[in-house]
Structure 1
Amino acid sequence: MKKALVFLTGFMGSGKSTIGPILAKEIGYDFIDVDELIEKIDGRKIVDIFREDGEIYFRNLERQILIETVLKLSKFVVALGGGTITFSDNLFLVKRSGILIYLKASPEILLQRIKFKTDRPLLLDPMGNLLPENLLFERITTLLQMREPYYLQADFFVSTDDRGIEETVAEILKKLEGKIA
C-alpha cells in the first residue's frame, strides 16, 4: 500500500531537518519539522519548554501535536524529534500513518555535528551549559543506545556518516520507489 507521509527519525544531528526539505522537494511533497511546529504552537523554544516544564510535559505536547496536526496531513515529509518515536505509542502511530526512515549516524559523527549546539536540552548540563566534549560523547552514546531499538523499527535506514546530502537523498529516493502516493 502506498503512503502519503514520509517520516524521518534519528538522533539529533543525523540530518532530518537538512535532508527533509530537499527530499520533500524531490518527491513533490511539503515539509514540516515537528520541533519547529512545537515551538510555533507553544510560543517557546524547546530548550525553554524543557527547562520550565520538563521533558514529560514536552513529550505530551509533542504527542498531542503529532496526533492533532501531523497525522492529518497528506503528502508531507515530516522531521520528527530525536525522541518522538520512543514515547507512548508514537512509533505505532507513525508507522501506521506513513513510511518511517531512520537517518543513522555514528556517535563520533553526531558529536562533531552537535557539539556546539545550545538548543538541545538533553545535551546540556543542569545549568543549561554545554557539556564538556567527553561527557557529551557519553550522553550521545547512552541516548543512542536507548533509542536505537526504536529507530531500527523504521521501514528502512540510510547512513548519513560518510556521504553528502545529495547522495543520501538519492539513496532514500531509490528506497522509496513505488512506496509513496
Structure 2
Amino acid sequence: MTREQSKKTLIYLAGFMGSGKSTIGPILANTLGYEFVDIDKWIEQKTSKRIVELFQTEGEQRFRALEREALQASTARDHCVVSLGGGSIANEENFQLIRLNGIVVYLQLAPEEILHRVQHRTDRPLLRDEEGNILPPEQLDARVRDLLERRSQFYERADIVVASDRKRVGSTVDEIVKRLRSFQKKEGA
C-alpha cells in the first residue's frame, strides 16, 4: 500500500511524555466523531501490568515488542485517534508503519515545559535510574533532553506539528482539527 492509498482517517498523536496525548486524544476523537485508542493502555490491558511494572519485570525490549504489536493492530482501524507512547515512533520501522497507515500529528513541547510536566510523575520508567529510583532534577533534565534529541528526527517528520506549550486543551484540539482538515483536503482524502 502506498501513502496515497493509506487511510486518512487514522490519526496518530505523537509527542514526548507529558505532551498531552492522553488528554487531547479523547477530546480530539470526540470532536471528530472517531474512536480513541491509547497504545500504553492497550499494552496495560493486554499484560494486566502498568507500564512501569512491565519495564521493571520484563524490560524495555519486551515493552517495545508489545508496542510494535499494538501499532500493527492499530493499522486495521479507521476513523480512530491513536495516542502513541512517547517513544513509539523512535525507530524507523515503527515510524514508517505509522506514516504509511495514517496521519501523524506531533504535539511539540519545549524541554523546559516537558520537565515541568513530568518532574513529579512516578509512572515514567525512562525517567528512573537502573534501580527504579526517580532521577534527581539535574539528571532528569539531562535524560529528558537526551531522549528528546534522539527522538526529534522522527517527531519533526510528522505530517502536522502543533505546539502544545501552555495552551488550553480546547485551543490545541481546535488547531489540530483545522490543520487535519487542511492536510486531508491537500492530500485529497
The TM-score range, normalised by the shorter chain, is over 0.9
Aligned partner of 2:147 in structure 1 is 143
Structure 1 residue runs of 5 or longer lacking an equivalent are none
**Could you tell me how far apart the structure 2 residues matched to 1:17 and 1:153 are?**
21
Q: Which residue, 60, 81, 84 being the options, matches 2:85?
A: 81
- d(CA) in 2 for partners of 1:160, 1:66: 24
Q: Among residues 2, 7, 15, which one is paired with 1:10 in the alignment? A: 15
Residue identity opposite 2:125 in structure 1: P
For 2:169 and 2:59, the matched residues in 1 are separated by 34
SS at match of 2:145: helix
- The equivalent of 2:134 in structure 1 is 130
Give me the TM-score of the superposition, normalised by structure 1: 0.95
Q: Sequence identity, in percent?
A: 46
For 1:57, the aligned partner's letter is R
Of 56, 64, 67, the residue aligned with 2:61 is: 56
TM-score by length of structure 2 reads 0.91
2: CA distance between counterparts of 1:77 and 1:55? 25
Which residue is 2:101 aligned to? 97
How far the C-alpha of 1:104 sits from its partner, in A, is 0.3
Taking the aligned partners of 1:177 and 1:66, their CA distance within structure 2 comes to 24
Task: Classify the secondary structure of the residue corresponding to 1:84.
Answer: coil
Alignment partners' CA distance in 1, 2:157 and 2:144: 20
Bigger CA drift: 50-59 or 136-145?
A: 50-59
Deviation, structure 1 residue 126? 1.8
Residue identity matched to 1:11: F
Q: Are 2:172 and 1:174 aligned? A: no
Q: Distance between the aligned counterparts of 2:31 and 2:169, measured in 1?
A: 13
Cα distance in 1, alignment partners of residues 96 and 111 from structure 2? 26
Q: 2-side partners of 1:88 and 1:148: how far apart?
A: 12
Q: Tell me how far 1:88 sits from its aligned partner.
A: 5.2
Partners in 2 of 1:71 and 1:86 — Cα distance? 18
